[in-house]
Amino acid sequence: MTNITSPGPFIFGILLLLLLTQDRGFAADRMLDCRSTFLPNSSHEEIRKQFSNLNVESTALHEGEGFYEQGTVIFGGSGVGPVEIFWKDVQQQQYPKIVRIRGEQKSWRTDNGLTLGQTLHEVEQLNGQAFVLQGFGYDHGGTQTSWSGGHLESPPSSACQTHVRFSLNRPPDSQKEFDILGEQDFSSANQTLQELNPQISEIWLSYGE
């Protein structure tokens, strides 16, 4: 009787190799930085070619407070959140001004370890110390305004600066918690903020003039 060897393990090995190769390439695409992925001289057309395996569209993006501007969106597909790009040259769609991710998807990560959903405590650990953020309860509430010289501070030579915005997990329910609302700066070491431990809901790169 002829002994026929099952091709199962061989095929499984080939599939595993393909998956690992694709994952390495895709992981590189998900780096949110201005040194290797979103270069300061990028354009919509270059982004479209760079992310040819994803859906890249030109569309109106919400700037905040009811204002919109034409920009670029990279749609990552199922389980991968979008990246929004605002341009300095809006007409020609070139030279990034802001590169932004929002929501709960953790598929994109900055080169210094920031990702959506991280808590205030986790960000303090990455920064190596407390930092400064705005009070909550308005359009730009929860925005980090200074890393206070910590590890997350971009070097002067960097083409972009990294910023984050936090959101509360629940509405304030005491006078002490209402005190952190409003357009004013707070240290992340603030006792109430430490207790509430808000999470990152937005990360963006801002490029110099």
pLDDT at position 6 is: 44
Contact 188, 124 (CB under 8 A): yes
Neighbouring CB atoms inside 10 A of 41's CB total: 9
Length of the chain: 209
The rounded Cα 114 to chain-centroid distance in angstroms is: 7
The rounded Cα 78 to chain-centroid distance in angstroms is: 17
CA distance 20 to 24: 6
pTM, to two decimals: 0.82
- Beta bridge partner(s), residue 85: 72, 99
- The 8-class DSSP code of residue 2 comes to -
Contacts of 81 (CB under 8 A, 6+ apart): 101, 102, 103, 104, 105, 107, 108, 116
Q: What is the pLDDT along the chain (209 residues), one digit of tens a residue?
A: 444 444 454 444 434 333 333 333 334 448 899 999 999 999 999 999 999 988 999 999 988 778 899 999 998 766 677 999 999 999 999 999 999 999 877 789 999 999 999 999 999 999 999 999 999 988 889 999 999 999 999 998 999 999 999 999 888 888 888 999 999 999 999 999 999 999 999 999 999 87
Beta strands in the chain (DSSP E): 31-32, 55-64, 67-75, 83-89, 94-102, 109-110, 132-134, 144-146, 160-167, 185-187, 199-207
HEC assignment per residue over 119-133: EHHHHHHHHCCCCEE
Q: Following DSSP, what letter does each residue of 43-80 receive, concatenated? A: BHHHHHHHTTTSEEEEEEEEEETTEEEEEEEEE--TT-
- Beta bridge partner(s), residue 187: 132
